[in-house]
Amino acid sequence: MSSSDDDSQQRFALGFLFALIALVISAVVGTVVVKRVGASGAAKPAATAVASSAPTAPVAAAVADEASVRVENGVVKFYFATAKADLAGGANEALADVVKGVAEGKKAVVSGFHDATGDAALNAELAKQRAFAVRDALKALGVAEDKIELKKPEETTASGSNAEARRVEVALGAL
């Protein structure tokens, strides 16, 4: 019986060894696949790109074609998804300093921008709707309409990104 016990133990050890080798191979293949997909950016969630602290974060968020909002040098920049005028979450928090500045006697200057792709008249109208959405957010935060200046939509090419060009900027100006 001892020889059959030895055969049984050898089969078990051999089976265990093959299972371990298969596990290692699948882990290596899985890692390679994840690295390749991650490098192309196809499977990265948008939140990862937005959470980046790199200087290009607004562009990264806009490239994901989602609404986002950033404050840069005192200017609140709202980025919009393609063909949409919906504000990003966090709009009220981003506008807090603008509301405070208006309360101190300044005005909010709202400027709409659009990219150069598609029909220019439709782009200008969409930029206007986006500026109105920001104006409405300011009004909801208690800013009087006469303290808000809307500027005509401008076409921009930004720094090579149409997503970056689809924006509305809010800055403080003198009354």
| pLDDT under 50: residue ranges of the chain | 38-63, 158
Distance between alpha carbon 105 and the CA centroid of its chain, in Å?
A: 33
pLDDT of residue 112: 85
The pair of three-digit structure tokens given for residue 126, joined into one six-digit string: 């969409």
Instruction: Give dist(CA 152, CA 168) in Å, integer.
Output: 11
The letter for the amino acid at 61 is A
What's this model's pTM, rounded to 2 decimal places? 0.59
Q: How many Cα atoms are found within 13 Å in the side-chain-facing hemisphere of 9?
A: 6
Distances (CA, A) of 126 to 79, 109, 130: 13, 18, 6
Instruction: Give dist(CA 17, CA 103) in Å, integer.
Output: 73
Taking the C-alpha atoms of 20, 24, 27 and 28 in order, what is their torsion angle to the nearest 10 degrees?
A: -170
Instruction: Give dist(CA 41, CA 140) in Å, integer.
Output: 38
Q: Is residue 36 classed exposed, middle or buried when 0-12, 13-18 and 19+ CB atoms within 10 A define those classes?
A: exposed
pLDDT of residue 51: 35
pLDDT of residue 159: 56
Phi, psi of 169 (to 5 degrees): -110, 140
pLDDT of residue 163: 72
pLDDT of residue 81: 85
